[in-house]
């Protein structure tokens, strides 16, 4: 059992929503299918749990547990439509010199020739190899790993069913942080720890087995993509990755188009490029899959076309789509540029809110609204010192 405030009353800055602190205890039920040893912490193991709230939620105790809700949702979709989902993740992270005082500390130095064998010839390669080994030992298969930019690395995992993919992501993130710590380093998945270096993503590769309905599913995603940002970009500084005049400013999709928010890889398979490492993977997948299924079940028409050309309004080339031409492709919605804006969009998306359910949504919006208020009062340095330690 655990004290009830720990489930939905603790904010990212460590403060409490005191009005939501309840008397009593909640129940945790280990899912023993997820039991994994920790190669990097001998004598210890990791297991995921379902959380049941007591008190006023008696009879609906699992309604605010994202892991329980994701399992319930995917089971229902399987029973109703015989539809399966697979999810793989590109885990990006910075490694920096450890600091007990102020974070972010100085990033480690890697070869500037990223994506090449030369970029892996550095003193941190053994650390990366240890991380990959720790994941494969517990059955999390790694597709590839490489440097992603100056001082940044990426480990991509093979696809798994949605719930197992979320479990694997949590395990992988903690393994990365712990192994780096064991080597006197600090790893962070924070979306923008350094102003002058690239942003950090956690791109999800989502596949559906019912490819005949892929356009309707994609239409559902696009319809809600801006409001879904409240889940997949849930932190105050998540929006430093979305800048006016740059790729990702507008909601769009494209076939193999790396400048689009949603990149179609093949039939029924998309790379969701907006997701970052501060997102709760259970809640994020629950929201994204609900949005897609709303489109699929309503047989929604895919109005937006693949713009084919690149979408860099701030960098004009002969291969750039002009902003004035977006309308002919059905591109109209801009991405929110702050957590506050994304929460406002989410509150207006009544269909999605109803699909996910008020039990989880009412509290989520309340928690994130208070977090946004708290973090808006901090300087960037204060936010980084707090956020980089936990992410």
Do 343 and 294 reside in the same domain of the chain? yes
Split into its structural domains, the chain has a count of 2
For the beta carbon of residue 382, count every other beta carbon within 10 angstroms: 12
Domain C-terminal end among 37, 62, 87 = 62
| 71 assigned to some structural domain | no
β pairing state of 262-266 and 253-255: parallel
Write out the two tokens for 330.
């059905």
Buried b / exposed e along 74-84 (16+ C-beta atoms within 10 A): beebeeeeebe
Do 271 and 333 reside in the same domain of the chain? yes
pLDDT in tens, 363-381: 899 989 999 999 899 888 8
Determine the structural domain holding residue 33 and report its residue range.
Answer: 2-62
Q: Using a cut of 0.75, tell me whether the model's pTM lies above it.
A: yes
Write out the two tokens for 36.
């994994």
Residue among 212, 233, 284, 219 nearest 67 (CA)? 284
Sign of CA dihedral 180, 184, 189, 194: negative
Domain C-terminal end among 62, 89, 114 = 62
Helix (H, G, I), strand (E, B) or coil at 152: strand
pLDDT in tens, 73-100: 999 999 999 999 999 999 999 888 876 6
Do 315 and 357 reside in the same domain of the chain? yes
pLDDT in tens, 23-59: 667 788 899 999 999 988 899 999 999 888 765 555 6
């Amino acid at each position: 059992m655990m004290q009830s405030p720990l489930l939905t009353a603790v904010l990212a800055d460590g403060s409490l929503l005191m009005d939501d602190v309840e008397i009593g205890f909640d129940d945790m039920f280990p899912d023993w299918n997820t039991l994994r040893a920790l190669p990097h912490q001998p004598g210890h193991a990791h297991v995921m749990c379902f959380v049941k709230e007591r008190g006023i939620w008696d009879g609906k105790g699992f309604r605010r547990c994202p892991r329980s809700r994701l399992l319930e949702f995917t089971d229902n979709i399987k029973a109703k439509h015989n539809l399966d989902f697979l999810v793989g993740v590109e885990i990006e992270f910075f490694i920096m010199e450890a600091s007990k005082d102020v974070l972010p500390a100085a990033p480690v130095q890697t070869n500037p020739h990223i994506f090449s064998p030369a970029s892996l010839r550095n003193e941190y390669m053994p650390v990366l190899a240890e991380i990959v080994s720790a994941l494969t030992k517990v059955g999390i298969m790694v597709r590839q790993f490489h440097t992603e930019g100056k001082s940044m690395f990426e480990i991509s995992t093979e696809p798994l069913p949605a719930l197992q993919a979320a479990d694997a992501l949590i395990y992988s993130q903690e393994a990365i942080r712990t192994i780096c710590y064991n080597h006197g380093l600090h790893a962070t998945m924070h979306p923008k720890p350094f102003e002058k270096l690239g942003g950090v993503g956690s791109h999800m590769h989502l596949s559906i087995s019912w490819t005949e309905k892929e356009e309707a599913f994609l239409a559902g995603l696009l319809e809600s993509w801006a409001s879904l940002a409240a889940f997949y970009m849930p932190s105050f500084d998540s929006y430093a990755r979305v800048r006016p005049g740059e790729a990702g400013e507008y909601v769009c999709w494209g076939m193999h188009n790396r400048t689009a928010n949603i990149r179609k890889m093949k039939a029924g398979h998309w790379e969701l490029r907006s997701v970052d490492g501060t997102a709760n993977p259970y809640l994020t997948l629950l929201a994204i899959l609900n949005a897609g299924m709303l489109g699929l079940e309503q047989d929604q028409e895919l109005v937006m076309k693949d713009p084919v050309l690149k979408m860099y309004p701030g960098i004009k080339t002969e291969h750039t789509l002009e902003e004035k031409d977006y309308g002919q492709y059905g591109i109209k919605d801009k991405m929110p540029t702050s957590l506050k804006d994304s929460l406002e969009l989410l509150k207006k998306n009544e269909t999605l809110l109803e699909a996910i359910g008020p039990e989880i949504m009412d509290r989520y919006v309340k928690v994130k609204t208070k977090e946004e208020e708290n973090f808006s009062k901090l300087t960037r340095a204060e936010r980084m010192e707090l956020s980089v330690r936990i992410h």
